[in-house]
């Protein structure tokens, strides 16, 4: 039995009536009637909910950092969903927008917030339409606005479409963008959003899926939530028969997820898979039975990230995959810091050289050295997302790189879209 996806395919779930008929806004009613804001924070803390945006930070703990008596506080919802392979937030926004609105209202009540912004990926045209409609319906029914449900709790929700950059999903870059500036990460500390965020005020910043978990936790209790798995959304894509968002208990293996997504296309074998979007280290077929949860993946030098499982079959050219991933980070680098701005360009140039049949044996050493120089030196995690793929390439698929360098593989042309910065060392 699913929880987060339980009603996303019911046609009338997008409307207030359908949502309320299935128990919607009960959690908000209960919280406003029976629970203090501190008790809501405590429930979320006891549920062991961890953020679903990428970093996996415990949500209850994050909320406990927000200063209680600050006169102005904000809630910002990260609905940018830019991590390659991730499409779970879009599924929730389009299929169950009131669940998100209720999650926002509960988070705002818990943290003493009266203005919330949803920073929504601009390409989500349909999601925006449905979410704005849900917000309007919630105002009309008294679940948003002044004196919600006859209490002294008031909340305004603003849906704000972003301008379409991957870096705008990074929380401090998102805040810059929301303030009308260029999306570039802020220096931390002091800019931990809970303490100093939007317009320099304390700001609770959470992912869409994270907030969609909250109404269930408040309605059914943290013990129930934990007993359900806890429920986790995995975006399963790549060489599977039916790419889809799979809801499964946290810690489900890639083998089970592939099965749930209809098995491998053409009955082929798995060669590799990204367990948490392209920012995580890709794993190999020998890891198909590893539970996909934070601790187990950290032991393998990978991470759950946004839980986007991208599956690649035995025919996949891993050199091309890794070059394509590095191209993405090169194009999305905001350019603020040198290791990322220059490193992503160098790495991509070397990988393209190898693919074009002009690679040299020392290029592998050079790639290794660049991966080391980009680890722990970048200003934000975007630049740090390149080394995990490179490391996996050099350690687990080295023979494929060597085959190109030896001339044992047919050279391929990669799309070369941007040529910025200095040429790679050695031409």
Ligand X SMILES: Cc1cc2nc3c(=O)[nH]c(=O)nc-3n(C[C@H](O)[C@H](O)[C@H](O)COP(=O)(O)O)c2cc1C
Looking at beta carbons only, is 80 or 327 nearer to ligand X?
80
Task: Please state, in angstroms and rounded to a whole number, the distance separating the CA atoms of residues 419 and 323.
Answer: 14
353 in Cβ contact with 333 (< 8 Å): no
The interface with ligand SF4 within residues 363-382 (CB under 6 A) comprises 378-380, 382
- Look up residue 63 and give its DSSP letter: H
Q: Check binding of 57 to ligand X (CB under 6 A).
A: yes
Task: Please state, in angstroms and rounded to a whole number, the distance separating the CA atoms of residues 104 and 137.
Answer: 15
Which H/E stretch holds residue 312? strand 308-313
Q: Which residues contact 146 (CB under 8 A, 6 or more apart)?
A: 154
Task: Please state, in angstroms and rounded to a whole number, the distance separating the CA atoms of residues 61 and 46.
Answer: 10
Q: Check binding of 81 to ligand X (CB under 6 A).
A: yes
| Shortest Å, Cβ 42 to ligand SF4 | 35
| Shortest Å, Cβ 272 to ligand X | 22
x/- site string to ligand X, residues 368 to 407, per CB under 6 A? ------------xxx-------------------------
| Shortest Å, Cβ 300 to ligand X | 20
Judged by CB under 6 A, the residue of 239, 341, 353, 391 near ligand SF4 is 341
**Torsion angle of C-alpha atoms 21, 80, 233, 56, degrees rounded to 10:** -120
Q: Check binding of 420 to ligand SF4 (CB under 6 A).
A: no
Binding span for ligand SF4 by CB under 6 A among 70-78, 135-143, 152-160, 335-343: 335-343
Q: Which two tokens stand for residue 44?
A: 């979320």
Size of the site for ligand SF4 (CB under 6 A): 14
Judged by CB under 6 A, the residue of 47, 137, 203, 210 near ligand X is 210
Q: Check binding of 334 to ligand SF4 (CB under 6 A).
A: yes
Q: Report what 371 binds from ligand X, ligand SF4, none; CB cut-off 5-8 Å by kind.
A: none
Looking at beta carbons only, is 239 or 293 nearer to ligand X?
293
Upper half-sphere CA count for residue 139 (Cβ side, 13 Å): 10
Q: Which residues contact 10 (CB under 8 A, 6 or more apart)?
A: 18, 22
Looking at beta carbons only, is 247 or 384 nearer to ligand X?
384
Binding span for ligand SF4 by CB under 6 A among 11-19, 253-261, 286-294, 332-340: 332-340
Question: 10 Å Cβ neighbour count for 399?
Answer: 9
Q: Report what 205 binds from ligand SF4, ligand X, none; CB cut-off 5-8 Å by kind.
A: ligand X
Judged by CB under 6 A, the residue of 167, 245, 257, 371 near ligand X is 167
64 in Cβ contact with 45 (< 8 Å): yes
186 in Cβ contact with 176 (< 8 Å): yes
């Amino acid at each position: 039995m699913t929880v987060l996806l339980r009603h996303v395919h019911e046609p009338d779930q997008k409307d207030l009536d359908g949502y309320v008929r299935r128990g919607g806004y009960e959690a908000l009613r209960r919280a406003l009637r029976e629970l203090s804001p501190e008790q809501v924070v405590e429930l979320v803390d006891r549920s062991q909910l961890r953020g679903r945006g990428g970093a996996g930070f415990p949500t209850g703990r994050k909320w406990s950092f927000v200063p209680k008596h600050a006169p102005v506080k904000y809630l910002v919802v990260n609905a940018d969903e830019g991590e390659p392979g991730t499409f779970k937030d879009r599924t929730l926004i389009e299929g169950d927008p009131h669940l998100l609105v209720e999650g926002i209202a509960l988070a705002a009540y818990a943290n003493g917030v009266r203005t919330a912004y949803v920073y929504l990926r601009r390409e989500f045209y349909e999601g925006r339409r449905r979410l704005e409609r849900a917000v309007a319906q919630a105002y009309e029914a008294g679940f948003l606005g002044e004196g919600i449900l006859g209490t002294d709790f008031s909340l305004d929700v603003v849906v704000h479409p972003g301008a379409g950059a991957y870096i705008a999903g990074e929380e401090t870059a998102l805040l810059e963008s929301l303030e009308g500036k260029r999306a570039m990460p802020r220096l931390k500390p002091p800019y931990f959003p809970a303490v100093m965020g939007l317009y320099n005020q304390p700001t609770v910043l959470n992912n869409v899926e994270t907030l969609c978990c909250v109404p269930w936790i408040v309605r059914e209790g943290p013990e129930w939530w934990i007993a359900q798995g806890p429920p986790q959304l995995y975006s399963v894509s790549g060489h599977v028969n039916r790419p889809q968002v799979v809801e499964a208990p946290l810690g489900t293996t890639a083998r089970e997820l592939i099965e749930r997504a209809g098995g491998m296309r053409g009955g082929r074998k798995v060669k590799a898979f990204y367990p948490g979007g392209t920012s995580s280290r890709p794993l190999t077929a020998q890891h198909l039975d590893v539970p996909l949860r934070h601790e187990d993946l950290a032991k393998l030098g990978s991470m759950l990230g946004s839980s986007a499982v991208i599956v690649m079959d035995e025919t996949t050219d891993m050199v091309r995959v890794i070059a394509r991933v590095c191209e993405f980070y090169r194009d999305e680098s905001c350019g603020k810091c040198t290791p990322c701005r220059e490193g992503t360009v160098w790495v991509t140039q070397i990988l393209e050289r190898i693919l074009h049949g002009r690679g040299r044996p020392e290029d592998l050493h050079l790639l290794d050295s660049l991966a080391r120089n980009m680890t722990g030196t970048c200003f934000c995690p975007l630049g740090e997302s390149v080394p995990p793929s490179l490391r996996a390439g050099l350690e687990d698929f080295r023979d494929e790189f060597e085959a190109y360098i030896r001339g044992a593989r047919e050279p391929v042309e990669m799309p070369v879209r941007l040529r910025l910065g200095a040429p790679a060392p050695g031409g």
